[in-house]
Amino acid sequence: MFEEFTRILIDANGTSIHLVHGGHGPPLLLLHGYPQTHVMWHKAAPLLAPHFTVVAPDLRGYGDSGKPPAPPGDLSVYCKRTTAADQVQIMARLGFDSFHVAGHDRGARVGHRMALDHPNRVRTLTSLDVVPSQAAFDKMDKDLSFAWFHWHLMRQPEPFPETLIGNSAKFYLDFLLERWCGIEGSITPEAYDEYLRCFSDPETIRATCLDYRGIELDLVHDEEDRGRRLTCPVLALWGSDTSKRPGWQTGASLDMLTVWRERAVDVRGRALACGHFLPEELPRETAGEIMKFLGVRPDS
């Protein structure tokens, strides 16, 4: 995986960020989600690299990036504002003052906060299978709560979720990957081995629980920005197959495009016939939609 990419570690914002980068053209930052790492882009990144300089990091707390400690009660270490600042700094270190962002799951939430906090840096935002956090918590219902059981578990005080997940990390990981995947066999053995290696680290479990606890501060920041709309163009893509994950993202009352259009002035998008892991389930279609959004013909 990522054979044509360069792998490096960059010190940024008080931690270390592990990433791969490669390709040619305008910079495109690819951000992964939970419970994965940058590896989730291993099928799509080579399709994008002929047209873009692709940068795919592990977010703080994930993969081989740093997992800094957080003082008790300090949510700022893993809030989206901090994680977004990490990415702005690594892109600057690579020589990019502005760039396109495509984020899946947690990565889309980081990208959304980045576009709010650093509007001159983010040229466009692509969100994969995510509604903005504020909208989801404003409209939380029984369907969405059921689908987001992991949010409510991981927000519990330590060491409760850390202990439960850590007692059978593989079982927990396997459940999430199977439940959220709509196209069987999409997660390759090589990718799975990397996910399991990283997720089995107790420090990853600790840090990712902190990431989810950070929603309390994320929502404070979101409330400060309530009503503010992104000025950069936004592409929203999502998986239409929710047969194994009813209530995912939208619950019974939210509509993906409507919610994003309340938060950005220029929004387009559509559903793809897959589950949650768009870049792994439908990599060619996902990369093609991103390329068209950014003005590149997929077959050029």
Phi/psi class of residue 120: alpha, beta or left (left: φ > 0; alpha: ψ in -120 to 50)?
alpha
Let me know if 97 is a catalytic residue: no
Compute CA distances 289 → 21, 27, 35, 254, whole Å.
Answer: 21, 17, 24, 23
Find, among 41, 43, 12, the residue nearest to 29 by Cα: 41
CB 175 within 8 A of CB 196: no
CA–chain centroid gap for 247, Å, is 19
SS3 69: coil
Compute CA distances 121 → 92, 98, 118, 125, 189, whole Å.
Answer: 10, 4, 5, 11, 36
Kindly report the backbone phi and psi dihedral angles of residue 137, in degrees, each rounded to the nearest multiple of 5, phi listed first: -75, -30
Task: Indicate the DSSP class of residue 277.
Answer: -
Compute CA distances 290 → 107, 236, 294, whole Å.
Answer: 15, 10, 6
Compute CA distances 134 → 107, 116, 179, whole Å.
Answer: 16, 14, 24
Count of beta carbons in the 10 Å neighbourhood of residue 293: 19
Let me know if 221 is a catalytic residue: no
Q: Identify the active-site residue in 58, 105, 218, 222.
A: 105
Q: Identify the active-site residue in 18, 42, 104, 276.
A: 276
SS3 32: coil
Kindly report the backbone phi and psi dihedral angles of residue 170, in degrees, each rounded to the nearest multiple of 5, phi listed first: -65, -45
Torsion of CA 42, 23, 8, 43, to 10 degrees: 0
Kindly report the backbone phi and psi dihedral angles of residue 27, in degrees, each rounded to the nearest multiple of 5, phi listed first: -70, 135
CB 162 within 8 A of CB 205: yes
Give catalytic residue positions: 105, 276
